Copies of this chain bind each other. A is one copy, B any other.
Amino acid sequence: MTFTLNELAKHVDGQVDGDDECKIEGVGTLQGAQAGQISFLSNSRYGKYLSNTKASAVIINERYQSKCPVNAVIVDDPYCAYAIIAALLHPDKPVSPKGIHASAVVSDTARIHDQAIIGPLCVIEDDVTLHAGVIIGPGCVIGRQSSIGENSRLEANVTIWHDTQIGKRALIHSGVVIGADGFGIAEQKNGHWIKVPQLGRVCIGNDVEVGANTCIDRGALGDTVIEEGVKLDNLIQIAHNVHIGAHTVIASSTAIAGSAKIGKNCKIAGAVGIVGHLEITDNVVVTGMSMVSKSITEPGVYSSGTLLEKNSSWHKNAIRMKQLDDIARKVKKLGSE
């Protein structure tokens, strides 16, 4: 795909500073881009590469305009503009062949739109509904009575259990498991555990992305809910009856325990742990590897954990941590003497 700089700028409400007619056919980093490519500057950490870039054009905000040695597209938010322009220049390859691959095992009672694509070696169980434009990658299994909305895409080897609802334009990456039983067990007097039937579903809104090998368990009673626009990274655990508000994003390897309710527009970093049966309000940011063990009722940035140091000094300090209450009492006593 080739565009003029002017055409690209129009797509992102940007102003061209330089040659309107410059031909652009791809994207690149400030350091790596070559003639014919457009780059962008968003993270100021990379500002030092602007002066030497060989890109034909750079997407920047006004602040950098005077420092840009090549054609520029001036926008308020260069990263969003880059995302749009990169998608124009590098559209997804069309999937072929169309239709249902001969090797797929598809139930007679499944309702498959004639604009849906089912890849090789998939299993589509009874009463599944696939809407127009759905693409199911190779090796996926979709359980009975599940429904997948228009233009959603499952990459290879995704597993969707029965009665799962997925909205429009979802992107589900390989290895994801949606709708497995939640971890519902009841302890008997003798210390043995009995299984609590997991009778709810998973309901996922529109425009949700789920990263590779992430697990979203079905509800015990009632549903596990992922609202529209949520973006989940890889290897995340979403337990039964969790509710995630619209447009919240969660980074890799975070674990969320049962019945936790997370608000809208939250940003949860990687490897965070969230305890069950609590509530996090809207617009909360939790930094990496923090443990959330109480509800969060005010928007803001929250953290736990300790900072990295050389092992030798860490060990001395960590031992003192076990004496901290004693130390605090001594300080109090000394202060009152």
Determine the distance from Cα of A305 to Cα of B275 in the docked complex, in whole angstroms. Answer: 14
CB contacts under 8 Å to B, within A102-140, are: 103, 105, 119-121, 123, 137-139
Whether B183 contacts A173 by the Cβ 8 Å rule is: no
Interface pair B221/A175, CB less than 8 Å apart: no
Number of A interface residues at 8 Å Cβ cutoff, please give it.
127
Cβ proximity bits A211-245 to B, threshold 8 Å, 1 near / 0 not? 11101010001100000010101110101000000
Using A80-B188, A308-B294, A322-B317 as known contacts, say yes or no to A237 and B270 having CB atoms under 8 A apart. yes
Return the contact of A79 from the options B105, B186, B325 (Cβ within 8 A): B186
CB distance A183 to B307 under 8 Å? no
State the Cβ distance, A157 to closest chain B Cβ, in Å. Answer: 5
Residues in B whose Cβ lies below 8 Å from that of A304:
305-309, 314
Contact A87 B197 (CB under 8 A): yes
Query: From residue A229, how far is it (CB to closest CB) to chain B in Å?
Result: 6
Contact B247 A252 (CB under 8 A): no
Q: Which of B120, B197, B231 contacts A86 (CB 8 A)?
A: B197
Measured CA separation A292–B309 after assembly (Å): 9
Given B161, B173, B308, which contacts A181 in the complex, CB threshold below 8 Å? B173
Tell yes or no: A191 within 8 A of B by CB: yes
| A273→B331 CA distance, assembly (Å) | 33
A195 near B: Cβ within 8 Å? yes
Whether A48 is near chain B, meaning CB under 8 Å from some CB there, is no
**Max count, chain B CB within 10 A of own CB: residue among A177, A275, A302:** A177
> Known contacts A86-B199, A137-B141, A157-B159; is A309 also within 8 Å of B327 by CB?
no
User: A166: CB under 8 A from chain B?
Assistant: no
Asked if A49 is at the interface of the complex by the 8 Å CB criterion, the answer is no
Min CB–CB distance A241 → chain B (angstroms): 10
CA of A306 to CA of B152, assembled, Å: 41
Interchain nearest-CB distance for A183 vs B (Å): 4
- Report which A residues bind B (CB closer than 8 A): 27-29, 32, 43, 45, 77, 79-80, 82-84, 86-87, 90, 101, 103, 105, 119-121, 123, 137-139, 141, 143, 155-157, 159, 161, 171, 173-175, 177, 180-181, 183-189, 191-197, 199, 207, 209, 211-213, 215, 217, 221-222, 229, 231, 233-235, 237, 239, 247, 249, 251-253, 255, 257, 264-265, 270-271, 273, 275, 277, 285-294, 296, 300-325, 327-328, 330-331, 334-335
Q: Can you give 27 A-B contacts (C-beta < 8 A)?
A: A28-B221, A83-B196, A87-B195, A105-B121, A143-B156, A155-B159, A157-B177, A173-B180, A175-B175, A177-B212, A180-B211, A181-B211, A185-B231, A191-B247, A193-B249, A215-B234, A233-B237, A233-B239, A237-B270, A291-B307, A301-B311, A302-B310, A304-B305, A305-B305, A316-B325, A320-B325, A320-B328
Report the 7 A-B pairs with minimum CB-CB distance, sorted nearest first: A301-B311, A253-B255, A141-B156, A123-B138, A177-B212, A303-B314, A159-B174
